[in-house]
Amino acid sequence: MSAPQRRTMIRALVLKDWYYMRWSIAAYLTLGAVALILVASGSEGSFYAGSVLLVTLLISLGIHLSMATVVEERTGQTLPFIMSLPISPGDYTTAKVIANLGIFLIPWTALLTGTIAVIAGRAAINDGLIPFAVIILTWILLSYCMNLAVALVSESQAWSIGAMVVGNLAFQAVLYAVSHIPSIALSMKGDVALWPPAARLLLLGEIGAIVLLLAFTFHMQGRKTDFV
On whether the CB atoms of residues 172 and 140 are closer than 8 A, the answer is no
- 3-class DSSP state for residue 127? coil
Which pLDDT tens digit goes with each residue over 91-145? 888 888 898 888 888 878 877 887 888 788 777 778 888 999 899 999 999 999 9
Q: How far apart are CA 164 and CA 147, in angstroms?
A: 6
Query: Mind listing the pLDDT tens digit for each residue in 154-179?
Result: 877 788 888 888 888 888 888 889 98
* The one-letter amino acid at 131: P
pLDDT for 197? 92
Handedness of CA 181, 183, 188, 194 (dihedral sign): negative
Residue 84, φ and ψ in degrees, nearest 5 = -80, -10
86, 135, 146, 181 from 196: Cα distances, Å: 51, 12, 27, 10
Mean pLDDT over 34-45 rounds to 75
Please list, in sequence order, all residues whose beta carbon lies within 8 angstroms of the beta carbon of residue 16, skipping any fewer than 6 positions away.
99
* Cα distances (angstroms) measured from residue 23 to each of 34, 101, 156: 17, 17, 26
* Beta-carbon contacts of residue 222 (< 8 Å; ≥ 6 apart): 89, 90, 93
pLDDT digits (tens, 9 = 90+) for 201-228: 999 999 999 999 999 998 887 776 655 5
CB 120 within 8 A of CB 130: yes
Q: What is the pLDDT of residues 55-86, one digit of tens each?
A: 888 888 888 888 887 777 666 556 556 656 66
Helices (H) and strands (E) in the chain, counts: 10, 0
